[in-house]
Structure 1
Amino acid sequence: MIKKIAEIIKDCDYLLITTGAGMGVDSGLPDFRGKDGFWRAYPAAKKLGLSFEELANPYWFEEDPYLAWAFYGHRLNLYRKTKPHEGFLKLLEIAKSKKDYFVFTSNVDGQFQKAGFSDKKIEEVHGSIHYLQCTKPCCEDIWSAENVEICIDNENFRAKEPLPRCIHCGEIARPNILMFDDWNWVDIRHEAQRKSFETFLDKSYKSLVILEFGAGIAVPTVRLMGERIAENFNAKLIRVNPRDHNVPFNAISLPLGAKEMILKVYSAIKN
C-alpha cells in the first residue's frame, strides 16, 4: 500500500494536506480524544468536572478569565516550546516538489508554520492561538500574541496577573480561536486564508491528491472537507489515521500515525 500511495503522490501536480489534532501527537501534543483523553492532559479540568467542549468556550473569559487563560495560556506555552516532528519536514519537501500545495487544518498550534510551511498556503479553519482579539469584541482587529507571556498557578489552575488586554479598549483579550458556542470570533484572518484556499482549488482541479492526517470524527470538519473536495474534483483521498480510518468509496485508508506514514512514503518516493 505504501508503494501505491507513493506512486499516486509522485504522479500528481497539486497536493492538499488536511489535518486534525492527530498530526501533532508524534510531536508530543495531546489530541484531547474523548473526555478521558482531555482529563489526562488537564487533571484540573477533571476536578472541575469540565469537558474540553465546556472549557473551550468564550463564556469563561467573562465568567472566570483566570481559569480561561490558565487553559489557553498552558496551550500557548506548550505549542511554543513544541518542535514539529520529522514528518512535517519530509512532508514539506514532498509538497514543495509539486506545482503547488495547500494545508487545511483544524489545529490552532502553528506547527506547520514552525516547520517551514508558507503562512500564505495554510487555512486554519478554527483560527490560531498565536493571535489575540478583544473578548467583546470592540473592533475587527487581531494582533500577534508573540510578546504575551502567561504565567500559571498550576496547583490551582489559575493564570496570574497581568492577563492579556485588548490593545484598543483595555478589556480582557482572548485567543483568535473559534471556540464552542462562539459568536464573537473575529474571522478576518481566516477569511483571507479561505480566499487563498479557493484560489488554490481553482487551479488544482485537474491533478489533485488529498492527504489527510489525524482528523477525527468528533468534530468532522476536516474529514468532510476532504471528502467533498475529493468528490467534486475527482481527486484521490488518502486518509491516515490509526483509529478513525473508515473511508468513502474509492478513497484509500491507512491505519498508521502521521509521522510513520510520512516517513515510509517519503522513503518510497526517494527510492
Structure 2
Amino acid sequence: MFTGILTQAREETDEQKLHRLKKALEEAEAVVIGAGAGLSTSAGFTYSGERFEKYFSDFENKYHFHDMYSGGFYPYSTLEEYWAYWSRHIWLNRYVDAPRPVYEELLELVKDRDYFVLTTNVDHCFQKAGFDKEGLFYTQGDYGLFQCMEPCCQETWDNEKAVREMLESQENMRIPSELVPHCPHCGRPMTMNLRADDSFVQDEGWYRAAERYSRFQREHEGMKILYLELGVGYNTPVIIKYPFWKMTRQNPEAVYACINYGDAAAPREIAEQSVCIDGDVGDVLKRLR
C-alpha cells in the first residue's frame, strides 16, 4: 500500500501546521488517539538521568546499569533482588503521578469529543488523568497487574498493595522472601503483565477493550476522523503507526496527525491528509490550547 518513502508532509511553518491541526480537531466527528512512550516522557516519566539517579543510585552502583529500562532486564540472582528493583520501578511509573500535566492537557482538548485511546504505554496515565476507562485500550499490558510467569492461566491480579509492601520492606536491595509473589493457582512466581513474548496474558479486560476499539472503528467508518499519534516510535509500529496510515489512506475524510520529537513523518501517499509536527508532545498540546 505504501512505497516506504516518508515525508514531512507539506512545507509549512510550525504555526501553519498548528492551525491545520486545530482545524482538524475542531471539525473531527471522532478522534482516535494513538499514544507511545514519547507522550509519557513528555509528562516527565523519564527512565534515565536525574530521575533514575535519584531513585536507583544504589542499583546503579552495584549492578552498573544506567537507566530503568536496562534495570528491568538485568539477570538478578534472586527473586528478592528482582522484586526490590521492580517494586520501585512499578511504584514510580504506575502509582506516582507524572511530574507534568501533559495527559490532563490532552484530556482538555478532547473531553467534549467522541474519542478512543489506543496506547502501548503501561503506566496508566490516561485513567489517572480522568479519561473514560471505556475509551481506553492498553495493548501491551499494565504495570499495575501481576500474572503467572508460566503462565498457567489467562488471569491477572491487581498489585498495588503487594508493591507497596515490597517498597516499604526492602533493605539492601532485597525484599523479604515472604513477599515474593506467587500464582494462587500453580504456585509459580508471578511477573508483570507486560508484553515481552508469547507468555503475555491477555485477560478478559484486554479482550473487552479490544472489542470496544473494534466497535468504535466500525461505528465511525467513513466519518471525519482525526488519527492523533503522540510520541509513537518504531519499536512496535504495527500497533498504532501503520494501522493509522492505512486507515487514513482508506478514508478521504480522515486526517493523520503525528507529533513526535525528532521523527514526525508520514508516507507520501497520505501527505495531503497529514500534519507532522517535530517537537515535544506536551509543548505542542499546550500551544494547541
Cα gap change, 1:229 to 1:82, in 2 (>3 Å): same
Runs of at least 5 residues in structure 1 that lack an aligned partner in the other structure = 267-271
Q: How far off is 1:212 after superposition?
A: 1.1
Of residues 240, 248, 261, the one that matches 1:230 is 248
Paired residue for 2:104? Answer: 89
Cα gap change, 1:155 to 1:222, in 2 (>3 Å): farther
Alpha carbons 1:152, 1:160 under 8 Å: kept: no
Larger CA deviation: 254-263 vs 136-145: 136-145
The correspondence of residues 11-26 of structure 1 with structure 2, limited to 5 A, is 11-26=27-42
> Is 1:260 equivalent to 2:283 in the alignment?
yes
Q: Percent identity?
A: 22
SS in 1 for 2:145: strand
Amino acid at match of 2:90: L
Q: How far off is 1:117 after superposition?
A: 0.7
Paired residue for 2:264? Answer: 245
Amino acid at match of 1:263: K
Alpha-carbon separation, structure 1, partners of 2:160 and 2:39: 23
Q: TM-score by structure 1 length?
A: 0.81
Of residues 18, 24, 38, the one that matches 1:8 is 24
Q: How far off is 1:77 after superposition?
A: 0.8
Of residues 198, 202, 214, the one that matches 2:214 is 198
> Is 1:170 equivalent to 2:187 in the alignment?
yes
SS in 2 for 1:5: helix
Q: TM-score by structure 2 length?
A: 0.77
Which structure's CA Rg is the greater one? 2
After superposition, what is the alpha-carbon deviation per residue over 1:224-255, rounded to whole angstroms, capped at 9, x for unaligned? 23223322334211111111212222222111
Paired residue for 1:135? Answer: 149
The correspondence of residues 18-37 of structure 1 with structure 2, limited to 5 A, is 18-30=34-46
Alpha carbons 2:232, 2:241 under 8 Å: kept: yes
After superposition, what is the alpha-carbon deviation per residue over 1:89-142, rounded to whole angstroms, capped at 9, x for unaligned? 2321322221x2111111100000000112211111111011111112222211
Alpha-carbon separation, structure 2, partners of 1:54 and 1:2: 36
Q: How far off is 1:51 after superposition?
A: 8.8
Q: How far off is 1:264 after superposition?
A: 1.1
Alpha-carbon separation, structure 2, partners of 1:71 and 1:2: 41
Alpha-carbon separation, structure 1, partners of 2:88 and 2:169: 10
- What's the C-alpha RMSD, in Å, of the aligned pairs? 3.1
Q: How far off is 1:217 after superposition?
A: 2.1
Paired residue for 2:235? Answer: 218
Cα gap change, 1:117 to 1:68, in 2 (>3 Å): same
After superposition, what is the alpha-carbon deviation per residue over 1:168-212, rounded to whole angstroms, capped at 9, x for unaligned? 333221111112xx2221112322211111011111221110111
Paired residue for 1:109? Answer: 123
Alpha-carbon separation, structure 2, partners of 1:31 and 1:237: 29
Runs of at least 5 residues in structure 2 that lack an aligned partner in the other structure = 1-16
Amino acid at match of 1:211: L
Alpha carbons 1:55, 1:68 under 8 Å: kept: no
